[in-house]
Amino acid sequence: SATEKGGWDSYMDKEIHEEPLAVSDTLLGRFSVDGDLNLDEVRIDEDVFRSIDKIVVIACGSASYAGLVAKYAIEHWVRIPVEIELAHEFRYRDPILTPRTLVVAISQSGETMDTLMALRHAREQGSRVLAICNTQGSTIPRESDAVLYTHAGPEIAVASTKAFVAQIVAAYLLGLYLAQVKGTMYRDEIRQIVDNLKAMPEKIQWVLDNQADVIAQTADRMAKAHSFLFLGRHVGYPVAMEGALKLKEIAYTFSEGFAAGELKHGPIALVDEGEPVVVIVPSPRGRDVLHNKVISSIEEVKARGAFTIAVAEVGDPDVEHYADVIFWRPECSTLLSPLTDVVPLQLFAMDMAKLKHYDIDKPRNLAKSVTVE
Ligand code: G6P
């Protein structure tokens, strides 16, 4: 009913608007009085954490993209390899795990059968499994050695939104904690990132408050498009895949996310007059290579007639020359930008589904949690 949805049209709408809270609640209570990260709740010995030399993430769907976002951050902060494996693939492989490997199972529901079977497979081989989960007492955390809960609150809409951002935050906390115990970063650096993380709810709120109109208008303009390409680099790559997944799931629109660098290796052949291409643009500050390369990708698809929609940082001086439409986000570091950049893509998919009068919360053929293999 409308009351349960708190006045929102759909649970998805409500849950997207709960993202600032999902992020701040997931950060809550994870620090000691002196400001250091404290993950005592996971009950894995600090010495064990210190010995970890590889992380293998197992997950499905959006949770796997949250894991891929975390890979960029954790490898940068902790200098250990992080692999992401779709749970259903992991299970039938002969994965290389040692007692020093930490397997991280990411699941909103904690009931996804593929992820559960993969975690059993890992444990049978003597690996330690840490669950990142949104559902207290569900099967995946119960069968894991430890659990780090996301505190996004119950997620009802089939398409994951607030749980996704909370999963990124939890995985980042894990990464920063590993950096702290392994000493791969200075205390001050960790503090700085934690402070930046604490500022993210406000930045997400800014997107919700200021970009909803342009997003809805763009959905109107794009209502007849039959396919979308999403491009991103670095952390923008999993964000592109997540944006494409949302459109598939609820707007039943063919869409695919690519690493922007792959464009010339195939996907550019798809670009034709009027074809919509959504591009996640990294921060222009420092004008680093990443930013310039993504701007060139926009130029390349634009030159072939694409209709380009950019997600970019406020004040980006280059993006305006090339993009047809821009969804703005506030300034933030590249590693934290997925938390804001995914928001307009979620809203866009929702608006597209609304225009088509689809059931936003219960898309055809999908289940909230897939408890069969
Ligand atoms: C289903 C849902 C997706 C979700 C995936 C993993 O396919 O439709 O939205 O990302 O399962 O779910 P989990 O509960 O394990 O995060």
State the pLDDT confidence band at 323, using cuts at 50, 70 and 90. Answer: very high
Neighbour-count burial of 341, counting CB atoms closer than 10 A to its CB (0-12 exposed, 13-18 middle, 19+ buried): buried
Cα 60 to middle of ligand 1, angstroms: 6
Contact 129, 103 (CB under 8 A): yes
The pLDDT tens digits for 71-100 are: 999 999 999 999 999 999 999 888 899 999
pTM, 2 dp: 0.97
Q: 178 Cβ partners below 8 Å, 6+ apart?
A: 49, 52, 74, 77, 78, 80, 184
Hey, what long-range contacts does 218-224 have (CB within 8 A, 24 or more apart)?
218/309, 218/325, 218/327, 218/348, 219/348, 219/351, 219/352, 219/354, 219/355, 220/351, 220/355, 221/325, 222/276, 222/307, 222/352, 223/352, 223/355, 223/356
The amino acid occupying position 116 is: L
The pLDDT tens digits for 288-303 are: 789 999 999 999 999 9
The amino acid occupying position 245 is: L
Q: Which atom belonging to ligand 1 lies closest to the Cα atom of 245?
A: 9
**Gap between the Cα atoms of 220 and 95, Å rounded:** 46
Q: Which positions are annotated as active-site residues? A: 368
- What is the structure's pLDDT at 128? 95
Residue with the smallest CA separation from ligand 1 atom 15 is 107
Predicted ipTM beyond 0.90: yes
Q: 369 CB under 6 A from ligand 1?
A: yes
Q: 133 CB under 6 A from ligand 1?
A: no
